[in-house]
Structure 1
Amino acid sequence: MTSTGRLSDRTALVTGGSRGIGRAISLRLAAEGALVAVHYGHRTEAAEEAVAEIEAAGGRAFALRAELGVPGDAETLWSAFDKGLSEYGARPGLDILVNNAGITLPKRISDVSEEEYDRLFAVNVKAPFFVIKEGLTRLRDGGRIINISSGVTRIAMPNISAYSMTKGALDTLTLALAPELGPRGITVNAVAPGFTYTEINPTLKVPEVLNAYAATSVFNRIGRPSDIADVVAFVASDDARWVTGQLLDATGGAHIGMPA
């Protein structure tokens, strides 16, 4: 990792940036030279480990805590971000916002309670909406907003229908914001992972499940967090300056054809 690169003059904030795909994104953006604010909700140790890993490789990062899905979450997050920048000695403002934090709900519609539904939408939809809203005054012209969506907006998964709805809402928000922020040179895109090997999905430790999921990809393997992070790094860079309002499918070609 180096402090010089395509993003060496940028500051990035990655929500849920301490674990899984979020951690890989934090590491990748830092590898490109960005100062990365690693957001976390509860696991301080994981965030500290992510920051330490970035710094050990020569990158720049700091951690900030804010629970999402509760009243005032966006204000809490941005206050922590501003404080973190000040303590780090960095200039105010932001260049790259990655809305990665989210929770899942592996239940069919018949088993979803109203409380679970409200919690899911509070974290996965309401939080990124208001994080963006409150962050627009900090986001510099020419900046990037990247929402982490999911292949389930394209692939029917009845066992996670409520979760799929939240990602569909995020895709629509992405599309709606692109023309609004275009005059400022800000791009707004979504990246949709498919089956990805992270600790949030313990079922992937079962060989039969792992093989079944791998078989959905044209590459016959499960995605790695780094696969997603590399796509995010592209969207965050100047190379993607002419791409906005788009959903970039990063599912490894899952379910794009009939079985041979």
Structure 2
Amino acid sequence: MVDHSIKGKTVLIAGGGKNLGALVARDLAEQGAKAIAVHYNSAGAAAETEATVAAIRAAGAEAVAFQADLTPAGAMEKLFADTIAAIGRPDIAINTVGKVLKKPFVEISEDEYDAMTAVNSKTAFFFLKEAGKHLNDNGKICTLVTSLLGAYTPFYAAYAGTKAPVEHFTRAASKEFGARGISVTAIGPGPMDTPFFYPAEAADAQAYHKFAAALSAFTKTGLTDIADIVPWIRMLVSDGWWMTGQTILVNGGYTTK
């Protein structure tokens, strides 16, 4: 019988140095993961990543950190190779990498579009590719997308539009990797109370988002609390393995499909 628990498993988290990725890393360590590789993008996140690594080790798991811009496919190949060299082949691979842009459609430049595509679509594609090549059998893959995939709204064409392909990448990968017992999912939180949210939204939009979800009154800020997303990711990469090929919107009633 296959063991789908987190205990004793090896984990790779892209974007795992801070915010939601860091909270997931700490949680999986507390759940008994054997070793966790944490990726972070910029030198500015080094201190927070070091704190995350320290917390993982304090919970009893081995931890390593790697810095990289993952938009080149070769960088993704190296991340998986470095992870395997340091802690072994992963059982669980989680990608929280993303880039937000809120801007009218007609004002989005080619450079902005290319940057959004590189981070939100290309990185996700090659993360799934490398995970499919290197994960142990019966592994779990989860990618962070956005609840805006279920929204009818202006100004997020470049953000939600470049996250949208991940929904099909997830379906295709789940079908192809399923013969090895690997489940593949995507999870779409609502607007989250993180430093990424506030610079992208004017005061009026912030106020709207804080009351937009059906359950907004029951959170600290009205936004999605990253602590409420962690149990869903934990479930999907463990006992929730039978859920595969799906994109799940977890947002307190912010949007539905």
How does the TM-score come out when normalised to structure 1?
A: 0.87
| 1:118 and 2:117 aligned | no
Q: How does 1:56-135 map to 2 (within 5 A)?
A: 56-70=58-72, 72-85=74-87, 92-135=88-131
Q: How does 1:2-13 map to 2 (within 5 A)?
A: 6-13=5-12
Is the 1:100–1:148 Cα contact (8 Å) retained in structure 2? yes
Match of 1:233 in 2: 234
Q: Distance in 2 between matches of 1:36 and 1:205?
A: 33
Q: Distance in 2 between matches of 1:178 and 1:102?
A: 21
| 1:140 and 2:142 aligned | no
Is the 2:147–2:255 Cα contact (8 Å) retained in structure 1? no
Match of 1:37 in 2: 37
Question: What code does the residue aligned with 1:146 have?
Answer: C
Q: Which of 45, 48, 51 matches 1:46?
A: 48
Is the 2:19–2:194 Cα contact (8 Å) retained in structure 1? yes
Is the 1:66–1:76 Cα contact (8 Å) retained in structure 2? no
**Over the residues paired in the alignment, what is the CA RMSD in angstroms?**
2.2
Match of 1:252 in 2: 252
Question: What code does the residue aligned with 1:73 have?
Answer: A
Q: Which of 123, 148, 154 matches 1:152?
A: 148
Task: Measure how far apart 1:21 and its partner are.
Answer: 1.5
- With over 3 angstroms needed to count, the CA separation of the structure-2 counterparts of 1:45 and 1:160, relative to structure 1, is same
Match of 1:186 in 2: 182
SS at match of 2:212: coil
Q: Distance in 2 between matches of 1:157 and 1:74?
A: 32
Task: Measure how far apart 1:36 and its partner are.
Answer: 1.6
Question: What code does the residue aligned with 2:230 have?
Answer: A
Residue deviations 1:120-151 (CA, integer Å, cap 9, x gap): 11111111211222232320111011011110
Q: Distance in 1 between matches of 2:76 and 2:83?
A: 10
Give the aligned length: 246
Task: Measure how far apart 1:68 and its partner are.
Answer: 1.6
Task: Measure how far apart 1:108 and its partner are.
Answer: 1.7
Q: Which of 184, 196, 200 matches 1:200?
A: 196
Is the 1:197–1:204 Cα contact (8 Å) retained in structure 2? no
| 1:55 and 2:67 aligned | no
Match of 1:163 in 2: 159
Q: Which runs of 5+ in 1 are unaligned?
A: 86-91
Task: Measure how far apart 1:158 and its partner are.
Answer: 1.6
Task: Measure how far apart 1:212 and its partner are.
Answer: 2.1
Question: What code does the residue aligned with 2:190 have?
Answer: G
Q: Distance in 2 between matches of 1:205 and 1:122?
A: 22
Task: Measure how far apart 1:195 and its partner are.
Answer: 1.2
SS at match of 2:253: coil
Question: What code does the residue aligned with 1:84 have?
Answer: A
SS at match of 1:120: helix
SS at match of 2:248: strand
Matched residues, percent identical?
31
Is the 2:80–2:134 Cα contact (8 Å) retained in structure 1? no
Q: Distance in 2 between matches of 1:70 and 1:141?
A: 26
Task: Measure how far apart 1:243 and its partner are.
Answer: 1.0
Q: Distance in 2 between matches of 1:105 and 1:51?
A: 29
Q: Which runs of 5+ in 2 are unaligned?
A: 217-221
Task: Measure how far apart 1:241 and its partner are.
Answer: 2.4
